[in-house]
Amino acid sequence: MNENKTVIEREGGLSRSLTSKQLTMIGIGGAIGTGLFMGSGIAIGYAGPGVILSYIIAAFIAVIMMFSLSEMAVVHPTAGSFGTYAEMYLNPWAGFLIRYTYWAAQVIAIGGEAVAVGLYMQYWFPSIPVWLWTLGFGIALVLVNSRSVSNFGQIEYWFAMIKVVAIVLFIVFGVSLLFGIGHSHSVGFHHYTDQHGFLPNGFKGVWMAVLMAIFSFYGVEIVAVTAGESKDPKKAIPKAMKSMVLRLFLFYILSLGIIVAVIPWMQAGAHEVSGSPFVKVFESSGVRYAAGIMNFVILTAALSSMNTNLYLTSRMLFSLSRGDYAPKSFGKLSKNGTPVKAIFISSAGVLIATVLSMYYPDTFNKLFGISIFGGILVWLMILISHLRFRKTVHLHYHEPLPVKAPLFPFLQWIGILLLSGILITMAFSPDWNSAWKIGVPWVILVSIGYWIQKSRKSNLYKHNSNNKSAL
């Protein structure tokens, strides 16, 4: 286990200044993004009112993953997080694959969010080109991340707060419509069974919507990554995780339940992103300025996603550098304890993704398969790493675990089976099989890169040993 200790020690030096409140809001902010505000329309298109069941299943998987990840993060609070755990408890190849896959997936996702920000700003300023907004906000967020992690935490706290307030107000407004509070009549719940019933497309539709719903929860894993910069990870992570899981579950299920109750699901849903179902609820009730209000909220969600994903990518690159899997300069820290060079390299990747998404959308959409495939792969590796963690953690950690995942290992195997089922479904679905077409070659490419890197390090070690022998 000495090797495991060196894995943890090598990622030291980051500033530990994130508070428990910031961790909670960062986690919530990471999971509440355009996937909920925009992507939920696609999920409704698949499942109809049964989308409520889809999000319950997706939330169940996310909760299992979060308990497993939090248990490991409290014991090993590092920036490399799940990538480091895969290296420690599975093998170095797994750690290499997960960190590079996650880095690439998030860089591509930020490119899409960056372009979306420009499009949202054109709602108010149609004469200003998209690229100018994209570049301007991109530079601003790079500067935020480059200063200190406390600055990042404070800004992300308020980004998340705006989204939380918006969802709470939406739920309150929706409940008033359903029961006729302050309105001339109540909407009721008849839309749940109108238009071919609660499950218009059967369980197949519910399961297909799970594919979209699971992507809405991507980002919750940021709490584990921030563990490396938390003031008191043993107390902050369990508290943040429990609070975050409960709130996310309520926010998602209640808001989706209100949407399909207030307006017919065929009106709220679509098989491609054509508008926010949240906006459609406001518009159906005759609320003025609804589109402008929700445009601001969705803009905030996109900026928040860019901010958190830039943080995540820089920490993954930092972790890879400290493990000698990336240039050493990416592992250097500024006076504020921030990996500035890793941030700049990650932002350069964002620029490439942005250009592709603006001028070569077909190429970008194909690359987005890495993001989709990578997200599922990361969650799977977290659960598998946790199974191995439980078997060996007692050898080097002699205190009671501050967080213990319930019903271990039953729930972990359920999560693995569900995630595997999602991957298999994607392979045979015309709407989703592009993830496999890009994801599998990516895994092969990264694996080749790992073996080349391993061979180079082995040859270098032999060369140094021979030189010492000659002396």
- Is residue 322 in a domain? yes
Contact call for residues 167 and 300 (beta carbons, < 8 A):
no
Count of other CB atoms within 10 angstroms of residue 311? 28
Distance, C-alpha 416 to centroid of its chain: 18
The answer to whether position 287 is within a domain reads yes
- From 281-290, 311-320, 326-335, 384-393, the region with the lowest mean pLDDT: 281-290
Distance (Å, rounded) from C-alpha 15 to C-alpha 336? 7
Instruction: Give how far the C-alpha of residue 151 lies from the chain's centroid of Cα atoms, to the nearest Å.
Output: 20
DSSP for 413-445?
A: HHHHHHHHHHHHHHHH-TTTTHHHHHHHHHHHH
Cis before residue 339, ω within 30 degrees of 0?
Answer: no
| Cβ atoms of residues 350 and 308 within 8 Å | no
Contact status, residue 388 vs residue 90, Cβ threshold 8 Å: yes
> Domain limits at 207?
2-431
Average pLDDT, the chain: 86
Q: Decide if 132 contacts 284 (C-beta within 8 A).
A: no
pLDDT digits (tens, 9 = 90+) for 158-191: 998 998 898 899 999 999 989 988 776 788 899 9
Token pair for 2: 């000495």
Q: Rounded mean pLDDT of 254-258?
A: 93
2 has pLDDT over 50: no
* Residue 246 in tokens: 């409960």
Task: Tell me if 355 is assigned to some domain.
Answer: yes
C-beta separation of 285 from 262 below 8 A: yes
User: Is the residue at 14 inside a domain?
Assistant: yes
> Do the Cβ atoms of 77 and 230 come closer than 8 Å?
yes
Residue 207 belongs to domain with CATH number: 1.20.1740.10
Q: Is 230 helix (H, G, I), strand (E, B) or coil?
A: strand
Is 116 inside a domain boundary? Answer: yes
Residues 299 and 111 sit within 8 Å (Cβ to Cβ): no
* Nearest alpha-carbon partner for 378 in 213, 220, 206: 220
Residue 22 CA to residue 365 CA, distance in Å, equals: 33
Residue 404 carries which side chain, given as an amino acid letter?
A: K
The answer for residues whose C-beta is within 8 angstroms of residue 188's C-beta and 6 or more apart is 178, 261
Residue at 371 is within a domain: yes
Number of structural domains found in the chain: 1
Residue 130 belongs to some domain of the structure: yes
Task: Give the Cβ contact number of residue 465 at 10 Å.
Answer: 10
Percent of the chain with pLDDT over 70: 93
Q: Each residue of 23-67: pLDDT tens digit?
A: 888 888 777 877 788 778 889 999 999 999 999 999 999 999 999
Residue 437 located in a structural domain: no
Q: What's the CA gap between 303 and 12, in Å, rounded?
A: 29
